[in-house]
Amino acid sequence: MSKEIKSSKALPNIWQKPKFVPKMTPRSWTGIALISPPFAYSLLMLAAPLLLVFLLSMWTQNYLELDRTFTFANYKEAASEKLYQVLMIRSVVISGVVTIVTVLLAYPIAYYIAFFGGKRKSMWLLLITIPFWTSYLIRVFLWKVILGYNGVINGSLMGLGFIEEPLTFILYNANAVVITLAHAWAPFAILPIFVSLSRIDFSLLEAARDLGDGPLRRFFRVTLPLSMPGVVAASLIVFIPTVGDYVTPRLLGGTNGLMIANMIQIQFGKANNAPLGSALAVSAMIIVASASIAFVLLNRRFLKVKG
């Protein structure tokens, strides 16, 4: 091996001192000073708790004591127990459905604002953020009022005589969770899609038209592929946090709508098994991360395009 390297003069010697050694100029000190506070903050607030959860997940809870011997037993339990499997799958499925519904609803809105917003674009974007002006909890309760047995929907439908009994499929189940989450996350999906749509050079759309495409063909051949970065971003922004959502299933999910985060909370609280809770949390994180990475890889040909 070493002989080979010697014989080939063209190969660079990696042991040589690098030609360019960055020097610390006053400017770079300014740079370091500028990024230090956020760096320290994220270390403290993000990395440290995460590390703690990792550690915790490999210990064992013995009633009031924490056994700090290193073990994977919690992960084995998390993976083999039927209940946890069900909750994990349900979380991913609900979150996936929420993502699809949200993106499908957000796309036309973003499309309208980007192409027909005219001078009122910023007004439309402002209107979209209005739900944020109240607390999420209040919005969840409002959905309860809308979807409930004596709620707005059932009340009006029964009042009008369309139905005899209140509709039961819209509250205290997975559907209610999907509806509420899709509404709550819509702005986060609209914005990235809007951005990628507004970046599309209009002459590309005209070129497609010029080459014989009607509006529909043009949409699927040019507009949609070029807005995929926004769609991918929107999907991740919605999917990643909703898998771990806790409040919505708790308040609207009933028993069949509970998700993995509710179980994690139970483990940390009533069940007094923080290590198992941590293992569930880490498992959820790994599943979400893998799903997200797979999704990005599936769409990578759309993402490398420079507009």
User: Taking CB under 8 A as the criterion, which residues in 242-301 touch another protein?
Assistant: 301
Mask: binding to another protein, 151-190, rule CB under 8 A, as x and -? ----------------------------------------
Tokens of 11: 């190969």
Output the smallest distance, CB 206 to another protein, in A: 6
103-140 in b/e form (b: 16+ CB < 10 A) is beebbebbbebbeebeeeeeebbeebeeeeeeeeeebb
Contact present, 177 and 102 (Cβ < 8 Å): no
Output the smallest distance, CB 170 to another protein, in A: 40
In this complex, which beta carbon is closest to another protein, that of residue 166 or of residue 225?
A: 225
Output the smallest distance, CB 306 to another protein, in A: 5
Applying CB under 8 A, among 213, 219, 240, 241 the residue interacting with another protein is 213
- Alpha carbon 51 to chain centroid, angstroms: 21
Does 199 help bind another protein (rule: CB under 8 A)?
A: no
Alpha-carbon distance of 224 to 190, in angstroms, equals: 14
User: Taking CB under 8 A as the criterion, which residues in 214-233 touch another protein?
Assistant: 214, 217, 221-222, 225-226
Output the smallest distance, CB 107 to another protein, in A: 18
Does 8 help bind another protein (rule: CB under 8 A)?
A: no
Tokens of 276: 């198992």
Output the smallest distance, CB 193 to another protein, in A: 16
Residue 81 makes CB contacts below 8 A (sequence gap 6+) with: none
How many residues touch another protein under the rule CB under 8 A: the total is: 22
Name beta bridge partners: 67.
60
- The site for another protein (CB under 8 A) is made up of 201, 203-204, 206-214, 217, 221-222, 225-226, 301-302, 305-307
